[in-house]
Amino acid sequence: MADLSSICGGVLDKVTSGTDRVPGVVAMVTDRDADIFSGAAGVRHTDDGTAMTEDTVFAIFSTTKAIGGVAVLQCVEDGLLDLDAPARDYAPEIGELQVLDGFDASGAPQLRAPKSAITTRQLMLHTAGLGYDFFSEAYKRLADEHDQPSVVTGTKAAIRTPLLFDPGDKWEYGSNIDWAGQVVEGIRGKRLGDVLKERVFDPLGMVDIAFTRTDDMKARTATIHARGEDNALTPMDGFALPDNPEVDMAGHGLYASIPEYMKFIRMWLNDGAGPNGPVLKPETVEMAVSNGLQSHQKVTMLHSVNPTLSHDAEFFPGLPKSWSYTFMVNDAQAPTGRPAGAIGWAGLANCFYWIDRSNGIGGYWATQILPFADPVSFAGYMDFETAVYNWISQRLQAAGE
């Protein structure tokens, strides 16, 4: 039986070679105790040829969301947050958001008060009414015609967007967790980055992760590349998440090397425990990985309205998915072998992870490419995850189970 390193290493070598390739990738797999595969292939930058290494720093974009969600859950555990109370009780500015009911003949936004107050539970579940300008035509129009800044600017103005519908009406992926981070800041009375360091990163021994990079982290950061229609890769040297942002964005703002994220995945595999102390209670973990949506709220395909930032995107088309606090849950076994009830998500520059608590295993695949749902990187990730489950199956067969 082939070992995991050779199986997964072959996937990395394949995806970083040939005409249709990614510039570079770091991929890792962990069990409950430690990393059981760690690999890097390709380059950080296609022009200078700097090798991709396992300590490369990535803009992890929306894989930040689960980390921000932990800070919210800790506030609940401490008795400081009622998930069903108005979120404005903790972050007053969210109470100023109105619902966008279209545009008038002159192109001006038509706004009205929401029928109910946004709750933090709705923020965690992406049912509050917020979206993203690369998945929402209305938000894109606000950006194009009314100078609504992108969330990647890291500004308070970027999250002061109108709601696309009344809170609770449906599921729509968007800037909800950025606002959930503001709820945490209102409760804790300090910046989110400081809260995470004290309550998440230090207990888990996570060092190489931050909203603002050190000089050493900057020197190890992979460049984001744009894939053109001809499949050519162009370095986006001027594009990056801001260091020293106005707002520590709980939904997308962290930089990290992938070994640090594996420590976070292990926390979920170990019922909330970290090497330096507990991060969440086991009962909180059980709640957090379970579907929180109501029957009328469905996880849907992400339809792109900005092809430079994202393709249409959906994990496991045709299979039922739900949403937890704050992950996608696949409600049926995936073609990769990922079992029903596992959790995971992704980041805009084509980072992907999954956490399988039943088998005690999880993995992360990191590239830096736009647009999202890059066919080459995503196919490589699917091959990577499939290879891991094939290896698990072979081990069980060899053990006679």
What is d(CA 126, CA 297) in angstroms, rounded to the nearest whole number? 10
CB atoms within 10 A of CB 398: 9
Is the model's pLDDT at 1 over the cut of 80? Answer: no
DSSP state of 149: P
CA 48 to chain CA mean position, Å = 29
Q: Give 315-339 pLDDT, tens digit per residue.
A: 999 999 999 999 999 999 999 999 9
What is d(CA 203, CA 186) in angstroms, rounded to the nearest whole number? 22
**Are the C-beta atoms of residues 243 and 201 closer than 8 Å to each other?**
no
What is d(CA 284, CA 325) in angstroms, rounded to the nearest whole number? 10
The one catalytic residue in 90, 132, 173, 261 is 173
- The CATH number linked to 20 is 3.40.710.10
Give catalytic status of residue 14 as yes or no.
no
CA distances from 73 to 43, 208, 324 (A): 37, 23, 12
Q: Give 247-278 pLDDT, tens digit per residue.
A: 999 999 999 999 999 999 999 999 999 999 99
DSSP state of 96: G
| Three state DSSP letters for 182-219 | HHHHHHHCCCHHHHHHHHHHHHHCCCCEECCCCHHHHH
Rounded to 10 degrees, what is the CA torsion of 186, 188, 191, 195? Answer: -140
Average pLDDT score over the chain: 97
Is the model's pLDDT at 82 over the cut of 70? Answer: yes
What the block records as the tokens of 33 is: 């105790």
Reading across the β-sheet that carries 343-347, which strands appear in turn? 35-42, 24-30, 361-366, 351-356, 343-347, 328-330, 321-323
Is the model's pLDDT at 312 over the cut of 60? Answer: yes
Rg (CA), the chain: 20
Give catalytic status of residue 62 as yes or no.
yes
Q: Which domain holds residue 342?
A: 4-398
**Are the C-beta atoms of residues 248 and 233 closer than 8 Å to each other?**
no
- Indicate the number of domains in the chain: 1
Over residues 183-211, mean pLDDT? 98
